[in-house]
A = this chain, B = another copy of it.
Amino acid sequence: MMNRSKPIDVAILGATGAVGQRFIQLLEGHPWFRVRELVASDRSAGQRYERVARWVLPGNPPADVACLDVLPLDADLQSPVVFSALPGDIAQAVEWRLAEAGHIVCSNASAYRMHADVPILLPEINAAHADLIGVQREKYGWGGGLATNSNCTAAPVAMALAPLRQFGIEAVQVVSMQAISGAGYPGVPSLDIMDNVIPYIGGEEPKLELEPRKMLGALQDGQVALLDCVMSATCTRVPVLDAHVVSVSVRFAEPVAEDDIRGAWESFVGPEPVPGLPSAPLRPVVVRTQPDRPQPRRDRDEGGGMATVVGRLRPCPVIQGWKFVALAHNTVRGAAGCSILNAELLAERGFLA
């Protein structure tokens, strides 16, 4: 594992938004990375972070970050690592340019997730996809590279399914109950969600039906082959602050015993060097045995918010397979935390200049 004499500087794009703030919070006291540059829209650029950011997390922003001046989107960044929490449309131009300019860009934006040469990294399940950084360098002559993390709901789905790949995943049905923080800030109006469920999230279901197939796919000859399975998703918003819950039904190629599934989850670990990375949870998949778990408020912080918690495993007579409930913290494992873990992997793999 890396033993660095000095910290690696990182920049955060979209630093004033909800996910940008989560990056800042999670990077406080990080053993390798140090937040040195904050980038946001022109409205905020040129001002001190603490003046322009409406901090929506507990407490106040860390003092050493609060006093930084916010840089504009076209700034000439110095940090080798760039985390992006930009909206998809803005991310498109900015992230490509920064990868070209030599930065390792770890992005939470959706812009490049399905690009053939860009991985959706979830290190425990597809660390090998990091090889696409090499493909990028060769193909585009980049000094840097670009890796994304998945949609926040796709993360627990892919993580819970990864240990089960060995059984031949054929079909997956998902109904999600998603937290309000997934919509950013100001995001969901309280008048819409209090005492209510909104059974629709714009653009979410197609992502959930596609991204896990890429994450779970195999990298061959510099290309990721989508996992060959059919997926169906229904996404809903519920009055919960953090953590997306998914009710999953899965059909396998052949009969699988309950103990085999449970055992696969409990023994699941990422490949080296993932388990030793600073942000990797002790166990990527945690199995709850109580009948009424996992629950967002009680399980979202498992493994520092980086674990996927599963439970309620039982047969599904309709899909002729199994069904279970899973959850993960949507702004940690499903967003900023995953991007940071991705950057740790890329640093450890030696992709930093």
Which residues from chain A sit less than 8 Å from chain B, CB to CB? Answer: 18, 56-59, 171-173, 175, 177, 180-181, 185-200, 202, 230-232, 234, 236, 238-241, 245, 247, 249, 251, 291-302, 311-312, 316-319, 323, 325
Contacts and interface: CB of A to CB of B under 8 A. Distances in A.
Given A234-B323, A241-B195, A57 B186 contact: no
A245 B56 contact: no
Contacts of A241: 191, 194-195
Contacts of A202: 291
A196 to B, nearest CB: 4
Contacts of A189: 185-190
Contact of A319 (B173, B191, B323): B173
A205 to B, nearest CB: 9
B196 A298 contact: yes
A190 B187 CA distance: 8
B195 A297 contact: yes
A105 to B, nearest CB: 27
Contact of A301 (B58, B171, B318): B58
A319 B174 CA distance: 12
A247 B175 contact: yes
Given A187-B191, A189-B186, A197 B238 contact: yes
Contacts of A194: 180, 190, 193-195, 239, 241, 297
A30 to B, nearest CB: 20
Contact of A325 (B172, B199, B230, B247): B199
Contacts of A56: 191-192
Given A190-B194, A319-B319, 10 more contacts: A58-B300, A172-B318, A177-B236, A185-B191, A186-B191, A188-B191, A195-B195, A198-B292, A199-B245, A199-B293
Nearest to A172: B318
A66 to B, nearest CB: 12
Contact of A292 (B172, B200, B232, B325): B200
A239 B240 contact: yes
Nearest to A58: B298
Contacts of A311: 199
11 contacts: A58-B298, A173-B173, A180-B190, A187-B189, A187-B191, A190-B193, A197-B296, A199-B295, A199-B312, A202-B291, A232-B316
Which residue, A18, A196, A294, A301, has most C-beta atoms of chain B within 10 A? A196
Contacts of A188: 189-191
A245 B238 CA distance: 11
Nearest to A189: B186
B234 A196 contact: no
A181 B191 contact: yes
A122 to B, nearest CB: 22
A190 B190 CA distance: 4
Contacts of A185: 189, 191
A26 to B, nearest CB: 16
Contact of A323 (B172, B190, B232, B293): B232
A251 B151 CA distance: 29
